[in-house]
Structure 1
Amino acid sequence: MGCAGSTPAKGDVILENTKKLQKPKPWKHTQQMTRAQLKQMRDEFWDTAPHYGGQKEIWDALRAAAEADLDLAQAIVDSAGIIIPNADMTLCYDERGAKYELPKYVLSEPTNLIRDS
């Protein structure tokens, strides 16, 4: 993008494409897992995610949104200036265009979750 009369280049992030958050679609993990295993996977993702690029503040906001109910998550995303082209938050951008990809396991529970023993 450039001047006011230009058109977006392929791959440009458009703020108007920000969607209202929705509950993620049900998904199934390749293996059954316990809630403790899911928590461990989530903790490992959030501990390492900032090392893949982007701003730590945005990663923190994304984590808070992922762990909140939909209304609070929407408020967090909006206030942090996060652009959500996918309503399920699996793909996000910050205002500078940095890309943030979230795996489904940090956004919802799998359908084959089993009880901790």
Structure 2
Amino acid sequence: MGCAGSSQAKAKGKRGSDLSILCSLHSFHHLMVALALPSTGGINRIKKPRSWKHPQPITICQLIQLRDEFGDTAPHYGGRKEIWDALRAAAEADPKLAQAIVKSAGIILQNPDMTVCFDERGARYELPKYVLSEPRNLIRNS
């Protein structure tokens, strides 16, 4: 995990070395946050998020479209693509398989519903509820 300006630290003298120290502290902070969180092994089982309601009723097709759009754009907001891929697979799997996917990818869960996760480097991954479960007001096609 880099820090903006850290490659210019030597060229800027004292200010650059201060910036380099700040970047190191920032990376250290992310590592400490990740280590302080309960590991995936400490989570007894992955659970779907509590019941939630979309602002307006949506169909299963619209829900799938939202999930696909999130899956396509999420890696552009940071983190590693392989972790995003593992999270997507875990979100689509049954809880037992999801637990195995998360564990094998080295993902650290902040809570059992997978809404906030971290990788081993301390990068944060947030998953919206619509990726993890269906809303109460889902329109079922007959």
Unmatched 5+ stretches in structure 1: 1-7
Unmatched 5+ stretches in structure 2: 1-27
Q: 1:15·1:83 contact (CA, 8 Å) conserved in 2?
A: no
Q: 2:91·2:131 contact (CA, 8 Å) conserved in 1?
A: yes
CA distance in 2, matches of 1:101, 1:33: 22
Identity of aligned residues (%): 66
Change (3 A) 1:16 1:53: closer
Q: Is it true that 1:12 corresponds to 2:12 in the alignment?
A: no
Q: 2:37·2:110 contact (CA, 8 Å) conserved in 1?
A: no
Larger gyration radius, structure 1 or structure 2: 2
RMSD: 2.0
Q: Structure with the greater relative contact order (CA < 8 A, sep ≥ 6): 1 or 2?
A: 1
Q: Which has a greater percent of helix?
A: 2
**What TM-score do you get using the length of structure 1 for normalisation?**
0.86
**What TM-score do you get using the length of structure 2 for normalisation?**
0.72
1:46 aligns to what?
71
